Structure 1
Amino acid sequence: MLEKAVVLDEQAIRRALTRIAHEIIERNKGIEHCVLVGIRTRGIFIARRLAERIHQIEGKEIAVGDIDITLYRDDLSKKTETGDPLVKGSNIPLEISGKKVILIDDVLYTGRTVRAALDALIDIGRPSQIQLAVLIDRGHRELPVRADFVGKNVPTSQSEKISVKLSEVDQIDQVSILE
Structure 2
Amino acid sequence: MEQRILIDEAGMMRAIRRIGHEILERNKGLSNALIIGIERRGVHLAKRLQAQIEAIEGIQVDVATMDVSLYRDDRGHQPKEGLPFTMDTTGKIVILVDDVLFTGRTIRSALNALMDAGRPSAIQLAVLVDRGHRELPIRADYVGKNIPTSHLETVKVHVHEVDGDDSVVIF
TM-score scaled to structure 2, two decimals? 0.94
CA distance in 2, matches of 1:146, 1:157: 18
Q: 1:162 aligns with which of 130, 155, 166?
A: 155
CA distance in 2, matches of 1:51, 1:138: 24
CA distance in 1, matches of 2:48, 2:22: 14
CA contact (8 A) 2:84 2:113 kept: no
Provide the residue aligned with 1:11 in structure 2: 10
CA distance in 2, matches of 1:148, 1:26: 12
1:49 matched to 2:48 = yes
Could you give the per-residue CA deviations for residues 5-61 of structure 1, whole angstroms, max 9, x where no partner exists?
211000000000000000000000011211100100011100000000000001110
Provide the residue aligned with 2:26 in structure 1: 27
Provide the residue aligned with 1:73 in structure 2: 72
Alignment of 1:119-138 (within 5 A): 119-138=112-131
Alignment of 1:104-115 (within 5 A): 104-115=97-108
For 1:100, give the aligned amino acid: I
CA distance in 1, matches of 2:106, 2:116: 16
Q: Secondary structure at the match of 1:103?
A: strand
Provide the residue aligned with 1:98 in structure 2: 91
Q: Percent identity among equivalent residues?
A: 52
For 1:173, give the aligned amino acid: D
CA RMSD of aligned residues (A): 1.9
Q: Secondary structure at the match of 2:140?
A: coil
CA distance in 2, matches of 1:170, 1:161: 16
1:2 matched to 2:2 = yes
For 1:34, give the aligned amino acid: A
For 1:18, give the aligned amino acid: R
Q: Structure 1: where are the runs of 5+ without partners?
A: 81-86
1:174 matched to 2:167 = yes
Alpha-carbon offset, residue 109 of structure 1: 0.3
TM-score scaled to structure 1, two decimals? 0.90
Provide the residue aligned with 1:84 in structure 2: none
